[in-house]
Amino acid sequence: MTEKLTFEDLQSPLASKRKGKDDFSLVGVIGLGVMGQGIAETIAGAGIDVLAVEKNEKAMKAGLDALGKEMDLEIKRWGKTTAEKKAVLSRIKTTTNIADLKSCDIIIEVIDENFEAKRQLIEAFYSVGKEDAVFISNTATLSLTKLAASSKRPDRIIGMHFLNPVPKVPLVEIVRGMKTSDETYKLVKQFAERIGKTPVEVFEYPGFITTRVILPMLNEAMHVLMEGIAKAESIDTAMRLGYNMQIGPLEMADAMGLDEVLMWMETLFHELGEPRYRPCPLLRRMVRERKLGKKVGEGFFRYDAEGKRVVDSKK
């Protein structure tokens, strides 16, 4: 089980030691949704202690329970051992007080893709945390420069765009804002490599690389389905086999969460004004109907409690 942070923990040698600029002994993760769970697991799996922050105890328990269940599924698939799960969870401590992050040199926020909420969070952290701490945003579409504009240390603010499922995807985009320092970038690059990721440097622009390139394909696949050109299964089969993809675009959208896909598309459409980012009406309808994909068991396909596709001939 994970442990709730105590005052003694914050004063311990583990929490306060710092051998050098690249000594990653304690990393704060704000938000334990799907992405936050994956990031916390990845960091803890690399032997680094994590301090996870959520808005309340209920949200914290939900996040930890979901993380435990996901790791149990990996154990069933022989992708992880019980000992590895125990080791990972033992490195994750929890708190609902952002002030407890004062011992962290690196903070990663993984809250909802809301500009004002992220901006306020950055300001709140630097009012209680270390002035030279690096604050990392996992934003997929927002401007790091704008997020950092009113903060004390815009040079220490940077983006790391992880892809879901975080423990399995080896890539991370490191996004530099206009005022992000070279020192900050180098430190975060070392951190990315330390947790087993291949970093790709990206200069700030809405959507970066992965989000900007993949969304038009997902959107077009939805249009093909909506226009009755082919069934969902046929669309995904054609793209998987024709272009050597691990999963098809519709199942990929289900895995991302259709509400997240819609939010990203609306942001890019607003920022860039390009028609290719105008969300497909079918996507809007499915989100209204709360058919959000794998996380709720139904999207373009249906899924069981373990997230496996349920065969449906009508699809």
Lowest model confidence (mean pLDDT) among 47-51, 139-143, 252-256: 139-143
159: β partners: 137, 175
63 φ/ψ sector (left φ>0, alpha ψ -120 to 50, else beta): alpha
16-19-23-29 Cα dihedral, nearest 10 degrees: 10
Which of the four pLDDT bands, split at 50, 70 and 90, describes residue 4? low
Domain CATH for 180: 3.40.50.720
pLDDT exceeds cutoff 60 at 19? no
Same domain, 196 and 217: no
Smallest CA-to-CA distance from 96 within 2, 3, 4, 1 is with 4
**For residue 296, which amino acid is it?**
V
Is 140 found in the same domain as 92? yes
Would you call 69 helix, strand, or coil by DSSP? helix
238 & 139 share domain: no
SS3 160: strand
Pair 103, 50: CB distance under 8 Å:
no
- Using N-to-C axis directions, what is the helix angle for 232-243 and 210-226, rounded to 10°? 140
d(CA 238, CA 178): 41
Q: Could you tell me what percent of the chain has a pLDDT over 70?
A: 91
Rg (CA), the chain: 20
Kindly tell me if the per-residue pLDDT of 205 is higher than 70: yes
Domain count, the chain: 2
Tell me what the mean pLDDT of segment 186-199 comes to. 97
Average pLDDT over residues 78-104: 94
pLDDT in tens, 66-76: 999 999 989 99
Residues 57 and 152 in one domain: yes
Q: Which domain holds residue 91?
A: 3-203
- Give the mean pLDDT of 292-296: 93
Residue 315 lies in a domain: no
Q: Are residues 246 and 177 in the same domain?
A: no
- Strand 157-162 versus strand 171-176 pairing type: antiparallel
| Of 156, 180, 203, the domain-final residue | 203
- DSSP letter, residue 311: P
Cα three-residue angle 300-80-292, rounded to 5 degrees: 15
Q: Are residues 169 and 226 in the same domain?
A: no
Last residue of a domain, one of 203, 238, 269: 203
- 199 lies in the same domain as 253: no
Going by their DSSP bridges, the two strands 26-30 and 49-53 should be labelled as parallel
From 203, 229, 258, the end of a domain falls on 203
Q: Answer whether residue 141 shows pLDDT above 70.
A: yes
Q: Which residues pair with 137 in a beta bridge?
A: 109, 159
| CATH number of the domain encompassing residue 275 | 1.10.1040.10
Taking every pair of C-alpha atoms in the chain, what is the biggest distance, in angstroms? 62
